[in-house]
Structure formats: C-alpha cells, structure tokens
Chain A
Amino acid sequence: MAFISSGYNPEKPMENRITDIGPQHFTEFLQPVIKKNFGKWLYHEILEAGVLKHVAESGDAVYTVRCGTARLMTVTHIREICDIADEWCGGYLRFTTRNNIEFMLEDEAKALELKKFLNGQKFSGGSIKFPVGGTGAGVTNIVHTQGWVHCHTPATDASGTVKATMDAVFDQFTDMKLPAPVRISMACCLNMCGAVHCSDIAILGIHRKPPIIDHKYLDNLCEIPLAVAACPTGAVRPSKVEIDGETYKTVAIKEERCMFCGNCYTMCPSLPLADKEGDGIALMVGGKVSNRITKPAFSKVVVPFIPNNPPRWPEMTDVITRILNAYSEGANKYERLGDWAARIGWERFFEVCDLEFTEHLIDDFRDPAYYTWRQTTQFKW
C-alpha cells in the first residue's frame, strides 16, 4: 500500500484550501419533473404499498417507488442502487428520513414494473435487497443508531435488533393493514442519538450496573472534575484510593444514585459500564411527533428490561409483535398507538398486551415523575 496524495500538502495546509462550502444546493440533485413542479404539487395517492403518485398543478405526475434498506450499507451496494437509478430513473434518487430509498419515475406502468424488479433482488444469504413498502398505515423503516458496530457506549446492538424486528414485522412493512402509521425507532443507549423518545415503539439499549472504576489509570486518562460534573445525579465525587501501597487520585461513585446513563463514561474512559448480564433493552411505546389530531407525545416505558439475546433477540420481537397485534385489533382507524392506549387506559393496555406492570414502570426521576402519577379516582378495574 503506497500512500496516494490527493493534492493536499501538509507543509502548506492553507494552500488551495477550500473550507466552509457546505453541501451542494439541493436543486443540483432534483429529478427533472420534480424540479419543474417544485412547490406546485396538488395532491398525492398511494397506488399500492410502496408506490406513490404525486400530481402537480401542471398535470404532470411523478411515481415514486419506496423501498427499505439496512442503513448500514457498503459502496458495492450503493453502486447497485445507482445502477437501478441510472437504468430506471435517469440517474436520480432520494433517501427518506427513515433510511428508505425512493426511485422516481414518470410512467406508472414502469413504476409497477420496478416494484416487481426490486422485490426480486436478493442478497446471497436470501434476504431481499430492496423490499418495497413503508407507506401509509403500516410500519416503515426503523431509524436507529450505531450499536456494537461503531459506538463506545451501547448497551445493545442496533443493526441486529433492527434486522430482527423488521423481519418480525415485515408484513406490516409491505402492507397497510394497521389503523395508522407505526414508527419504530431504535437507540442503543440513553444518549438516544436516534431520538427515540417520541416513537410509537422505541427499542432502547440500557445498562443496569454502575461504572467499574479503573482506579490505576483514571487520573491519567480523565479530567476528574469533568467526570464529576458529567453525572446528572451527582453520584460521582473525587476520591483517593490506595492500591499496593500506592495512592491514586480517582473518583468514588454513590452507586445507589446511579441511573446508568453513561455520561461519566463519555467524559472518562476509565468508567466503563458495559456488562453482558447488566445490559439489555427497554421498550417504550406511545410517542408521536406529528400534530395530527392529538398532540406530539413522549414514548412511555412499558417493559423495563429484556436481556440481550443476540443474534435475534426473540423476547424483544415477541413483545413488539404482541403490542402490534393488540393495537391492530383494538384501535380505531386513524388512531395512533399511544392514543389508543390512552383511550382504553394504560392499565388496560398492559392487560390486552399481556405485559406485566412492575414497580420499575412508576417514574421516580425528578419533578416530571409527579405528572405521570394518577391524581384522580377515575381508573379501571
């Protein structure tokens, strides 16, 4: 491997340097019909699951075929996607917020043909490369984080839990049989890079053991005041320990105050939390971000802990499908999962989903907890 220079000269870093140009303007990338009718769209229809038709004031129509992807994708795969876009769509495509790919065409018959073609493309292991779906009253692709693939704080894997979940709810991706859209999101630690706190169903990696303290190295690797300041509950304080006759500057942790957020570890690598038995998944439900009918809402924890059981996390997918089925049977048309649960009452929700309500589901974290307790005698038996 010989180093190839692209033209950058480390001796003169400022020579020819281009900075702060941002992304290219999006109009460079718009498919011609889209560009022509920009801001002049009249209405849309979902022709079949995964196939959209948008009609503009001019009478022009554009047909979109939407397919799911594993968002972790290789350049070989992206080139395959480009080949399809070149052959069918004049070299244009887009990605959705939820990591779906959209191919846009001007001809309805061709769009339906493309759907067939995409559903027929398989990876060597047998999975579908570009399953078409993710529209309307169904489950669309899962937004998720990095997990064991690439992050230092995860309590579980992201790509694996997502693959297992999407396999389990695949019918809801390719059909539109649910009462309303169901957005599933995944984040592998409480940092929630994926911002799962407002999803119909949220898969969240959690730790359950306080950090292990690497006393001998802590002072070399970390700024102790930063580690102390990082703790939201004030559980970390400066301390000294003696090991083999030597005194080390380090920290002490009030373990009963720890809520396992990993903030201290982010500040200080000598405070790892990861642990095979301690780590796993919490499931949250009932959040939404749209203002449609009801207000945006936070997700609520309904299962405090499910152990990590890779590669397929069967206990997790079992609960998710149970919740989806109960919702599908019980909810009214247009009613989001959280609205359904609130209507029937959360005590009833636990019953119909066959979930255990435990002490861990009663909030005890700071002021907002109070607003989740019941201040009325209106409840159901």
Chain B
Amino acid sequence: MAKHKTPLLDQLESGPWPSFVSDIKQEAESRAKNEKGLDYQIPADCPEDLLGVLELSYNDGETHWKHGGIVGVFGYGGGVIGRYCDQPEQFPGVAHFHTIRVAQPSGKFYTTKFLRDVCDLWDLRGSGLTNMHGATGDIVLLGTQTPQLEEIFFELTHNLNNDLGGSGSNLRTPAACMGMSRCEYACYDSQELCYNLTQEYQDELHRPAFPYKFKFKFDACPNGCVAAIARSDLSFLGTWRDNIRVDQEAVAAYVGGEIAPNAGAHAGRDWGKFDIVKEVVDLCPSNAISYEGGKLSINDKECVRCMHCINTMPRALRIGEDTGCSILCGAKAPILDGPQMGSLLVPFIEVNKDDDYQAIKDVIEGVWDWWMEEGKNRERVGETMKRLGFGALVRAAGVPIDARQVQEPRHNPYIFWKAEEVEGGWERSIDDFRKRHQR
C-alpha cells in the first residue's frame, strides 16, 4: 500500500518511454522489503515521500524545495548541494535531501563493479535515487542528510577510489565526448585531456576562488557531441590542418549504392538513390568539393572542416593527420545578458601529452588570472570578455591576434588607441598648438 496517493503521477506510468514514476515505485517497494536487511542511514520511505511531494507540486503547480544553505565536506567548497523540503511535516523522509555530485570517468564508460559499488553506497547512506547523469556530466546522487556527507566522502575516496565533482564558484567537473575510445572522427584524445586537466586543477574544482562557475568541455571533432561550443567557458574542439584523406574506391561504392550514406542514419525513410552532387558537393559550405569523372576532389585549402562530407561518407573520407584542437571561450546560457556561443580564441593548438599539455595550460591560466583580476562577482568569463573586449582576452591568453578570431572586422571606427601606439604619444603642449591655431 503506497504511503501517498499519486493519481497525477500515476498517469506518467503509461506510454512507451521509461517511466521514472514506475522506477521510483519499485525502489520504494525494494526499500520497504529490505531483503538484504540493511540498516538504512536515512529514512527508508524517502522514495515514497519524494513521490508525495512531487504529486503535491503537480497539484500546486509550484516547487516544494527550499534553498541550499551551507552543507559540504571538510575542506571542500563544492560537490554537495544542500536541499530541504518546505513541507517537512508531511514528508519527513525528504525533509533534508541534499545532492552529491560524484566525478564521472571521462566519456562515461563504466564497469558494473563500479556502478554496483555506487549503488551499495547509495542504498545504505542515501535515498537510492540518482541522476545518471547531471547536465554538467557528473553522477548525481539525489537525497541524503548532513550526518552522512563525510561518511559518503570517506567511502567514495577510500573504497571507490573516486572524488566528488564541483559546484559553486569553481571549476565544474569537466566533461568529454567519447572521442578516441570509439569514434573515428576524434582529432585528439578528448578523454585524456579532460582527465589530465581535471587532475591538474583539483584545487580549483573543490575550493571556490573564481568570480563564478567555470566549465571545460571537450569535443574531439567539430560535430560537437557534448555541445562544448555552447556550454563551456572554455571549449576544446578537435580539428586538423592538413588534408581530408579520400578513398576513391569507397567513394565509388557510395555512388554505386553499395554503402549507405551517412552511415545509415537515414535508413528509416526512402530518400531515393544517393546523389553525391546534391548531397555532398552542393552542400559543402565552402564549395571545396568537386566530383568529376567519378573522382572526388577536395580543395583542402578552402575547406572549413564542417564534417559534412565526412559524416556523409565515413568509409570514404577521413579527417586529416595533422590534428589538434581549437579553443573557444565564453559560452553560457542566457542569464544575465543573453546567450553566448563560444568565441574562437585559439584557432589551432597542439594537444601534446608529452609535455603534459603545457601550451593548453598556459592559455587556461592566462584566462583565469585575467578573469580573477577583472571579473565581477557572479560574472561568467564570457561576460567579462564582452565588457572588456575580446582583444583584452586574447592578450590575457597570450595567443597571437588572428583574422580567424572574427567573423568580420569591426563595424565602427571607435578604436581605443593607446598613447604608445601613436607617434609622439599623447603628451602635447597647448602652447605649441596655439602657435599654429588662434584662440
């Protein structure tokens, strides 16, 4: 017998898509049965109370969660988000219901051993409810109480060999696409770079010292599977400088219909016979492709590496071999001044594991030093960049000025020349001037 009636939520049990309501109900049942005889460290009926409070929100059209307050583990400023229910008498099981962010492995590959260990921990010391995963990328464990926080942290670090993620005004848990693990488009090892920087900047991740949050995301090619360009203060997008590798035999196989275009991504519908001119040549945004006499040629100097031809014929075309990444800066959601896409700060940088990615770290630290000096409280680096100008950011990052950094040159001649840039400087004598001009 369910603890709370949930007629509205029950309607979300039907339909084909996996129902979170059914799942929470099965968790409630499992906790009630407690077959393993666990000594649950937070109320066993918290899943039922969560359904209860959610049903109340479905009736009220309003949330019933309160502000965080300061909770966390000793020495860390991030990783735990305080959460309290504003109807604690009705729903004591979720009266205190803090969230823990757990650092996820790069690319989100797992062994069942690790996941089962997380489950055991969260069974005993938490609600048994999780988000796999949070929007930032971490494993999000939903719902525990303050006395459990240190215990959870102890078990995570001692038994699971794993750390908390970030929250607050710090470096958020970096996230990477699966890259070289399984993707032939990867221009650099996004997972390794993500891992290396995560380790390098653990202090920044756990002890807030920034004006506001800061995110790294790593897409190993311009397809952007983790949406780095839109979601991270510094986005690392794989790219190449040389030529797309072409296998003419495979091109012929696409034209002949032996291989399905776009890896079969359009198989659900009859789009007619593959037409290489219409579907590849004419869609190339920089008109870099031609197809004559059964031969595909690419004018690589004009290619903007949009990935379309490669995505369309993955067996015939491959990314180049002189690979690295572009770094973009300043993406964020609309708050406060409207949405921002990352702006291209570094067109190309080598991703060099042998020197521990020093070139990339130099850029990062240049940007951070500048932003920590100039950024206002709760100002994302993209906003600082807008306020003080992209040129200032480029200087801070210590990278060369490049025409690639802009879509087009400025529309106004309001140029902030500096005294040292003008012959003779700004210091002049009014008496000299008056010798030439009467008052």
Contact = CB atoms under 8 A, between A and B. Distances in A.
Interface string B96-111: 0101000111111111
B3 interface: no
Chain A, interface SS category: loop
A279 interface: yes
A28 interface: yes
Interface in B271-289: 271, 279, 283-285
B324 interface: no
Contact of B265 (A46, A68, A127, A311): A46
Interface size class of A (residues with CB under 8 A): 35 or more
Interface stretch (B155-163, B394-402, B426-434): B155-163
Interface stretch (A69-77, A106-114, A246-254, A343-351): A69-77
Contacts of B150: 8, 10, 13
Contacts, number: 448
A311 to B, nearest CB: 5
Interface stretch (B6-14, B293-301, B360-368, B417-425): B6-14
A275 B63 CA distance: 9
Contacts of B67: 152, 269
Contacts of A368: 338
Nearest to B15: A167
Interface stretch (A78-86, A235-243, A319-327, A352-360): A78-86
Nearest to A194: B135
Contacts of B23: 70, 72-74, 76-77, 123
B22 A34 contact: no
Contacts of B30: 76
Given A296-B224, A310-B58, A334 B283 contact: yes
A279 B63 CA distance: 11
A75 B226 contact: no
Interface string A169-198: 010010111100100000100111111111
B341 A198 contact: yes
Contacts of A95: 108, 110, 132-133
B16 A292 contact: no
Contacts of A175: 268-269
Q: For B19, B195, B226, B339, which residue has the most chain A Cβ atoms within 10 angstroms?
A: B19
Contacts of A291: 222-224, 229, 237, 304-307
B114 A29 contact: yes
Nearest to B40: A1
B181 A68 contact: no
A362 interface: no
A374 interface: no
A136 B262 contact: yes
Contacts of A21: 157, 161-163, 202
A75 B119 contact: yes
A261 to B, nearest CB: 6
A263 B334 CA distance: 12
B315 to A, nearest CB: 4
Nearest to A160: B12
B163 A136 contact: no
Contacts of A181: 265
A194 B339 CA distance: 13
Pick the 3 closest A-B CB pairs, nearest first: A125-B13, A136-B265, A276-B61
Interface of B: 8-27, 30, 39-41, 47, 50, 54, 57-58, 60-68, 74-76, 83, 97, 99, 103-116, 118-119, 122-124, 128-133, 135-137, 142-143, 147, 150-155, 157-158, 161-163, 175, 177-178, 180-184, 186, 189, 191, 195, 198-199, 202-203, 205-206, 222-231, 237, 260, 262-269, 271, 279, 283-285, 304-308, 311-312, 314-315, 318, 333-339, 341, 377-378
Given A68-B18, A75-B123, A277-B61, 12 more contacts: A1-B40, A20-B202, A24-B161, A70-B23, A82-B116, A97-B227, A148-B58, A160-B12, A163-B17, A191-B335, A292-B311, A368-B338
